[in-house]
Every structure is written in C-alpha cells, then in structure tokens.
C-alpha cells in the first residue's frame, strides 16, 4: 500500500505497520475526543477535495439523479445500470490532493483504532470476509 500522510509520502507498508506508525506520530491529538473530531474534520476535507475537482478544477463533472431500481432485473443487472454520477477523469493535481486527503483519513482512523486497542488490519480482514460472504447482497 502506498500512502501519503499530511503531505509526506510513506512507502509501501502493511496495515499493522501503518497503525503503529500513525499512533507513534499522534502527539497533539491524543485524546479520543480530539481523534474523533479530527477524523470528522478530515472526512470533510476529503469531501471538499472531491467536490472542488468538479467545481474549481472541472476535470470531473458530477451529474446526480435518482438511481432507478428495476424489480424485473437481478441485483447484478441493476448494479450495471447504476451510475456513479461522475463523468471525466481526475487530473493529476486533483488525484494527488484526493489521495493526500484519503491518507489523512486513514491516519486518524488508525489512531482511533490504536486509542481503542482495535486492530485496523483485523477489522479490514473481517470486513473483507463479510464482503466475500455476502457479495453484492452486502449493499442491501
């Protein structure tokens, strides 16, 4: 996994190494209250970066409309008909910014796990098993 944390490139790492590294770097916001609020704040910054790609840069367009589910189609067929409402491709600048914001979300998520003595890698493994078991029905 290649991750950028607060503007600094972190080379390929595994999840446990990432969590340990993030926890060791967490100095100012050690309180669970700070971690949770920083995670929420960072999520807002990620959302803003995605939307600014459309509203400021213009490399992508977002044209949202109601997703129409057909009772006469299978879940897989409906999935094919659903749209992500995005046209275009992220330019390199927007891609880099969004990747940086995702890295920061991961940083605070890892520090949240550390504060609560949870293992991010175990959580990801459990979720992956859940997704594999339920497949597309996970979305219901």
Q: Could you count the other beta carbons within 10 Å of the beta carbon of residue 45?
A: 14
E strands, 25-111, where?
60-62, 86-88
In the bound complex, what is the minimum distance in angstroms from residue 95's beta carbon to Zn ion? 8
Q: CB of 61: closest distance to Zn ion in angstroms?
A: 11
Q: Which CB atom, from 40 or from 58, has the smaller least distance to Zn ion?
A: 58
Tell the smallest beta-carbon distance from residue 92 to Zn ion (Å). 8
Minimum CB distance to Zn ion smaller for 60 or for 109: 60
Contact 11, 2 (CB under 8 A): yes
Catalog residues that contact Zn ion under the rule CB under 5 A: 53, 57, 59, 91, 94
CA angle 59, 64, 95 (to 5 degrees): 30
Nearer residue to Zn ion within complex by CB, 17 or 61 = 61
């Amino acid at each position: 996994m290649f991750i950028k944390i607060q503007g600094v490139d972190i080379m390929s790492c595994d999840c446990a190494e990432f969590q340990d590294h993030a926890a060791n770097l967490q100095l100012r916001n050690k309180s669970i209250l700070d971690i949770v609020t920083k995670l929420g704040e960072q999520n807002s910054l990620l959302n803003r970066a995605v939307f600014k790609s459309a509203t400021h840069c213009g490399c992508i367009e977002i044209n949202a409309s109601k997703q129409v589910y057909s009772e006469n189609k299978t879940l897989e067929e409906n999935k094919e008909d659903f749209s992500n409402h995005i046209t275009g491709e992220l330019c390199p600048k927007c891609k880099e910014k969004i990747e940086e914001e995702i890295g920061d979300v991961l940083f605070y998520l890892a520090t949240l796990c550390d504060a609560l003595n949870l293992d991010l890698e175990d959580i990801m493994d459990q979720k992956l098993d859940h997704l594999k078991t339920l497949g597309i029905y996970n979305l219901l």
